[in-house]
Amino acid sequence: MYVAIVRMETPAVDHDMAVQISLSSTEKFAAMKDKGLLMKYYLSRDSGGSGGVYIWKSKADAEAWYTPEWSGRLEEAYGAKPSVIFYDSFVQVDNTRDHIFVDGASQSG
């Protein structure tokens, strides 16, 4: 798996507004399953700032999404230039399923 953490310096919004803004794009991200997007977590800070944690099947899937055009769209829509940090995630602990995964393979059962 591959993880991308996106951050933007945006104005503070309350919880309800953050949910409303986030829900406006959930269908788009739900439809990206075939493009390698496994999960997306929407992020917002009370003091301002927003972003997301994206879980991708592969580095290639992530790199195909984070283009200069993508950055420009976000800057135009939110008035803030996004920054992205990428990580290879080779081990995961999933307490919701009581599993540990290494390179996508379950290590516990």
User: What are the tens digits of pLDDT across the range 54-105?
Assistant: 999 999 999 999 999 999 999 998 889 999 999 999 999 999 989 999 988 8
What is the CB-side half-sphere exposure of residue 61 using CA atoms within 13 A?
19
Mean pLDDT in residue range 28-35: 96
Output the CATH code of domain 2-106: 3.30.70.100
Report the candidate in 27, 23, 87, 78 with the shortest Cα–Cα distance to residue 56: 87
Q: Which of 72, 81, 66, 8 is nearest to 32 (CA)?
A: 66
What's residue 105's pLDDT? 87
Average pLDDT in the 17-45 region? 96
For residue 49, pLDDT over 90 is answered with yes
**Closest listed residue to residue 62, CA positions, set 91, 32, 31:** 32
Decide: pTM greater than 0.75. Answer: yes
User: Tell me, what's the pLDDT at 7?
Assistant: 97
CA 58, 64, 67, 69 dihedral sign is negative
* Backbone angles phi and psi of 71, in degrees to 5: -60, -45
Domain boundaries, the chain: 2-106
